[in-house]
Structure 1
Amino acid sequence: MTLSIVQGFTKSLAMTILSEIGDKTFIAAAILAMRHPRRLVLTGCLSALIVMTILSVVVGWAAPNLISRKLTHHVATFLFFGFGLWSLWDAFKDEGDAGELAEVEKQLDADFKGTAATDNKDHDEKKKTMRPFLAQFFSPILLQAFSITFFGEWGDKSQIATIGLAADENPFGVVLGGILGQTLCTTAAVMGGKSLASQISEKMVALFGGVLFIIFGIQSFLSPVN
């Protein structure tokens, strides 16, 4: 494994963990896992995050082929500093950690009430006959977990940061680190449940994430354009 892959992997892994742990999609996965089978929730959430990671890396990898390498390097450096300051701002804002948990739970309650009748109907039908494998795999629960996670991550700062990282580092290493980080965070959310989400200090995570982004920015600023 080359040095560039290792560097992209470690940066992506650290960035993903500090960006994803305790955020809205993490909390949503934890709450969904309390109401539905963990296997389906984990499959849906993790699939969405892997797809989002690969799409982001592809965009970042293609950027230097569309515009100059020097420009993409400067943009990536700017993104690191920008998201570092953004995370530090979030860390010092006077908002309680429980506020986001309550907000996500309220949104999922509305969705849950809307789909409760359908889920009960499906449950009754499953008592009468076994559904095909594909019908079980693409269940309403799995699709709900996938869609909530995918659209919750779309446009999030972690997605844009992944694009910037892939434009400046080895894309293969960024994919590996991102997928491993997403797997660790999502598995922790699903297995740990709501209690884990409520105990995580989002301010501390945002603080460490902000410092990490700024370190990446400094390293990118000091490194030459390849």
Structure 2
Amino acid sequence: RATVSPPNAAQQAANTEFWHGFFGAVSVIVVSELGDKTFFIAAILAMRHSRLAVFGGAIAALAIMTVLSAVLGFATTVIPRVYTHYLSIALFVFFGIRMIREAYYMDPNEGLEEYEEVQKTLSKKELDDSMQASRDALDVESGVVFGVHRRLWGFFSRVFFQALTLTFLAEWGDRSQIATIILAAREDPVAVSLGAILGHSACTLLAVLGGRIVSQRISVRSVTFIGGIVFLCFAVSSVCLGSGEDSLKSL
């Protein structure tokens, strides 16, 4: 009778690393992005435009940023793993303490203030765009039907690219991008990318569906504090799991 051999140690280690990186990326992104500037950008744009266009543009930007960050993190694998291991621990501790300190000194109304700041910034841009759209509406050279379709498609694509560019620029150098680079440097970069994109998708979906309500209900101070704790937990987890250098040598 044929027998099924149990998975070997290498396969078990690979599965553990994959899910550790995946869920680690999801949790880090969620606590980093809730109440963040990119969250408010998606929320405000979704109140004024197509939610689908805003969601698509924001997720496209975040997915691109996530893949770039994972590639940067993976590029550090040319450095001996033990060095990136301890560097990641140091960075997790640094950002964890920094976030807890920010939460301690943060104004309880920080979320609403940032929401209003982003809203004012977008209002001016929306005014300029609406004036341009009004001028374009006077162009009827293609006929009424084709003109309407063209304006609708132009409006949709304009909103999509507006959400994409604003989100991409706001995300560049953000805490979540740095966290993605750190995770990809020591975990499975594919798992980190998938987990980060899932985390971004959840936060962006929440923003476009009920961003204003969420911004009034959640405490950015509490989320920042929890985020700091999560970063410190990852530092402790990294210490407990070790660099994995010995297991790699044994393969």
TM-score by length of 2: 0.83
Q: For the residues of structure 1 that align with 2:139 and 2:15, how far apart are their CA atoms?
A: 53
Q: Is contact 1:60–1:167 with CA below 8 Å preserved after alignment?
A: yes
On the 8 A contact 1:101/1:198 being kept in 2, the answer is no
2:217 aligned to which of 176, 199, 210? 199
Aligned residue among 167, 182, 203 for 1:164: 182
1:195 CA displacement: 2.1
Match of 2:84 in 1: 72
Number of the residue aligned with 1:15: 28
Shift of 1:103: 1.2
Give the letter for the 2:163 counterpart: A
Question: In structure 1, how many angstroms separate the alpha carbons of the residues matched to 2:133 and 2:158?
Answer: 8
Please give the residue correspondences for 1:2-151 in structure 2 after superposition, counting only pairs within 5 Å.
2-65=15-78, 67-95=79-107, 96-97=109-110, 98-122=112-136, 128-129=145-146, 130-131=149-150, 136=154, 139-151=157-169
Q: Counterpart of 2:60 in structure 1: which amino acid?
A: S
Report % sequence identity.
39
**1:137, distance to aligned residue in structure 2 (A):** 8.9
Question: Which of 236, 245, 251 is equivalent to 1:218?
Answer: 236
TM-score, length-normalised on structure 1? 0.92
SS of residue matched to 1:7 = helix
Name stretches of at least 5 consecutive residues in structure 2 with no aligned partner.
1-13, 245-251
Q: Report the Cα offset of residue 121 of structure 1.
A: 3.9
Deviations along 1:131-172, whole A, 9 cap, x unmatched? 399x65971111110011001000011101110011011111
Deviations 1:179-213 (A, max 9, x none): 11111110110011322222221011001100000
Deviation at 1:68, TM superposition (A): 2.1
Q: Give the alignment's Cα RMSD to 1 decimal.
A: 2.1
Q: Give the Cα separation in 2 of the matches to 1:87 and 1:116.
A: 39
SS at match of 1:62: helix
The 10-residue stretch of structure 1 (154-163 or 69-78) with the greater mean CA deviation from structure 2: 69-78
Classify 1:9/1:124 alpha carbon distance in 2 versus 1 (closer, same or farther; 3 Å): farther
Paired residue type of 1:131: R
Cα–Cα, structure 1 residues 112 and 132, in superposed 2: closer, same or farther, change >3 Å? closer
Distance 2:145 2:132 in 1: 16
Contact 1:26–1:197 (8 Å) recurs in 2: no
Larger radius of gyration: 2
The SS at the match of 1:48 is helix
Provide the rounded CA distance (Å) in 2 between the counterparts of 1:125 and 1:183: 37
Q: How far apart in 1 are the matches of 2:164 and 2:196?
A: 17
CA shift for structure 1 position 220: 1.3
The one-letter code matched in structure 2 to 1:117 is M
Q: Give secondary structure in 2 for the equivalent of 1:2.
A: helix
Give the superposition deviation at 1:119: 3.0
Contact 2:106–2:221 (Cα < 8 Å) also in 1: no
Unpaired stretches in structure 1, ≥5 consecutive residues: none
